[in-house]
Amino acid sequence: MDELIKQGIQQDAGHCQVHSIPWDQIRERAFDDTSANTTFQRNAVIHKICYSFAAVVVIGALVIMSGFISPAIARALEQIPVINAVFNFVEDRGIQNAIDKGFVTQPNLTATDKDISVTITDVLYDQGRIDIGYTVTTSRPNLNPETFPGDLILPLGAPGMQFFANGKPIQNTTQATCEKMDNGRVGLVEIYPSDDLPETFNLEVAIHQIGKEQGEWLLGPIPVSRKDTDAATRTFSPMKKETFGETSVMVKEVKISPLSTLIEYESIRPLTEEFYFSAVMDDKENNIPQCASIRLSHQIKGDTKITIARLVCEAPKNIPEFLVLVPHTAGSQQQNIKIPLK
């Protein structure tokens, strides 16, 4: 079956254009006091888009389809038992881990306006992120993602799209990716909350614009819970401190859930300097893709900035003996931080 899928992909695969935001801008937005609701796409999302929703994780490398599944690939996919979830098309090890462990909520809620239907198919939730799988479909011939790439794309952030937990707005950073399908799009929205959300709550999604079409698509309430992912989460408190020139960093906590790796740290640095981790690796030097960097608190004391932040990465395949954090600091020699997980 692997060979069948590979042959079908080679025959029919195409690539879409992806508009990304440079990492420097991502970092600036993630640590911008004026932005409570930040939207961005990181370089790792490009890989998700370019290796995502039109194939399945079988041969270890996914590619984008050009808006349809060919008969050859369709016949191969029919032989795979779990193919109905949107998440199955995403090259994200954490998402696949959570699917394998049965942590997916499948509300299958649909809202329709202007002859455009939005369906939330799947939701995953842990302490680091909320992943929402969705489809957008329409019978309107003038809305064609094949002819007009901007059609049927969900906007990121208010006022186009908003998220609520028990009726209260979720302060968050969001990113999204989507793919064309026969009569619409299939996609994923990822929410990285900057505030603490309850273990269990009712999620509501309000959409006021799709592509250039304005309307009202209200979805919810959707009961979501991270009870199971919390129970499967390992927590470590390394309290590892390192100094780079005039910048000091304390890695306070590491949490590894089936969905995400969460690294909470505090940096103390001059006003003129920035700090972030440019890479995270496991004990075998395998890169762990980063998802988002969320500032939890920030204060200025004299000529010093004190920031507490959370780095959200994909979950590793297995819990390693240690993590290696690669810092980016200005004006000092780079020195990796080794975090034991014991």
Beta bridge mates, 265:
251, 309
pLDDT band of residue 2 (cuts 50, 70, 90) is: very low
pLDDT surpassing 70 at residue 249? yes
Two domains, one topology: 2-230 and 233-340 = yes
pLDDT tens sequence across 295-325 = 999 999 999 999 999 999 999 988 999 999 9
The whole-chain average pLDDT of the chain stands at 77
Domain ranges within the chain, ordered by starting residue: 2-230, 233-340
CA angle 148, 152, 185 (to 5 degrees): 100
Q: How far is CA 148 from CA 63, 212, 321, in A?
A: 21, 11, 49
Predicted confidence at residue 334, as pLDDT, reads 67
122: CB partners within 8 A, 6+ apart: 85, 86, 87, 104, 105, 106, 131, 132, 133
Which pLDDT band holds residue 255 (cuts at 50, 70, 90)? Answer: very high
pLDDT for position 33 = 36
Burial degree of 207 (CB within 10 A; 0-12, 13-18, 19+): buried
Q: Please say whether the structural domain 2-230 has been given the CATH code 2.60.40.1630.
A: yes
> Contact at 8 Å (CB) between 118 and 130?
no
> Per-residue pLDDT tens for 60-104?
333 333 333 344 333 333 333 333 456 766 778 899 889 888 999
Which of 2.60.40.1640, 3.30.70.270, 3.40.720.10, 1.10.10.10 would CATH assign to domain 233-340?
A: 2.60.40.1640
Q: Determine the pLDDT at residue 270.
A: 93
Q: What local confidence, expressed as pLDDT, does residue 83 receive?
A: 33
Contact 203, 123 (CB under 8 A): yes
User: What pLDDT is stored for residue 100 in this prediction?
Assistant: 87
Instruction: Give the mean model confidence (pLDDT) for residues 283-292.
Output: 93
